[in-house]
Amino acid sequence: MIYLDWPWVLAALPLPLLARWLLPAARAGSGRALRLPFLRELGAADALLGARAGGRVRHGLAWLIWALLALAAARPQWLAEPVPLPLAGRDLMLAVDVSGSMAQEDYRLGNRAATRLDVVKAVAGRFIERREGDRLGLILFGSRAYLQTPLTYDRDTVRTLLGEAVIGLAGRETAVGDAVAVAVKRLKDQPQDNRVLILLTDGANTAGNIAPLAAAKLAAQAGVRVYTIGIGGGTTGVRTPFGTLMRQGPDLDPQTLKAIADETGGRFFQATDTEQLTQVYDELDRLEPSLRDTREFRPMHPLFPWPAGLALLLSLGIAFTALPKRHKAAASLVEVSQHAS
């Protein structure tokens, strides 16, 4: 259906008539005219009569142009059919560790050895795909924490940027506290009870400007629940010229990660293999389900360019058609004056 956003503008349609009725008429000129009995034979009278007839047509077109302009000013719009719009119930920020230790190949993906970051990309990517209707954001942290993607409904972009993350992009060390602080800054202005941070790391805090527990207190004050996931801590693969040697990895700090989760009302998970990490994200789906509501949205397509464009074309047409007639009438009058002289 067609809808006028400002229908009251149509009240301006009779303004030219009011101006004609209320304003005084223009004074007639005091110039003298020369009466010629042979004017018709010279063809000048026909030119003048044609100009008068054309004036009536231009007068009608002027009214049409005025009506089109008033219609365009009323902002006509085409209302399309209602479209259901899902509303998110969660604002989820993902903080992923890309420090140097994430390059260790102590996990398996399918039937091959894989780095910790490769496994996180695969498992977290499937988690992102399932969060339909939620707003997701991505933080990558190493020696520093950087916001890679602000909160958005575009899950494909978040998944793509996570897949493009590389080891050492944010430095080789681990700034857990900075990652929590950046997430709190982005989540604190979002609706209450929907502020969630999922932090994944494989190491203890070794860099940054804020301690992890201090950042956890800020998160608790801002109402941000933090779920911490510790990976690694098991056997670590070390590449050597003689193959990959396995050794125990002491780099994980589960006590600090658990303290962060407890302080903010979240939970701590530890995943020493790919299957456990998959189960962790399945559990997060259960703990933080997508609370969806549905509202209807009717797309609006503006139509005002059509009457405005038509008015412009008619105005140009009047201007171009009037020029030859005026020139013809003027030429005839010049011819008459020359003949009379």
pLDDT tens digits along 105-124: 878 877 788 888 888 888 88
With a cut of 90, say whether residue 95 has pLDDT above it. yes
pLDDT category at 275 given cuts 50, 70, 90 is: confident
Q: What is the mean pLDDT of residues 249-256?
A: 74
In this prediction, residue 327 carries a pLDDT of 55
Q: What is the mean pLDDT of residues 282-295?
A: 69
Q: Who's near 115: CB < 8 A, 6+ residues apart?
A: 102, 103, 104, 105, 107, 167
In this prediction, residue 292 carries a pLDDT of 53
In this prediction, residue 36 carries a pLDDT of 54
The reported pTM is: 0.57
In the CATH hierarchy, which top-level class contains the domain 86-291?
A: alpha beta
| Cα–Cα distance for residue pair 167/100, rounded to 1 Å | 6
pLDDT category at 215 given cuts 50, 70, 90 is: very high
With a cut of 70, say whether residue 267 has pLDDT above it. yes
pLDDT category at 247 given cuts 50, 70, 90 is: very low
DSSP-derived secondary structure letter, 24: P
| Cα–Cα distance for residue pair 115/12, rounded to 1 Å | 71
pLDDT tens per residue, range 32-48: 555 655 555 545 555 55
Q: What is the mean pLDDT of residues 284-298?
A: 67
Q: What is the mean pLDDT of residues 274-297?
A: 73
CA 246, chain centre distance (Å): 48
In this prediction, residue 246 carries a pLDDT of 46
Can you list the alpha helix ranges (DSSP code H) found in the chain?
15-22, 44-73, 116-130, 155-163, 176-187, 212-221, 254-264, 274-287, 305-340
Strands ordered across the beta sheet of 225-231: 145-152, 135-141, 91-97, 195-201, 225-231, 268-271
| Cα–Cα distance for residue pair 185/222, rounded to 1 Å | 9
Token pair 């059509």 is found at 306
In this prediction, residue 161 carries a pLDDT of 93
pLDDT category at 248 given cuts 50, 70, 90 is: very low
Pick 291 or 320 by higher pLDDT: 320
Average pLDDT along the chain: 79
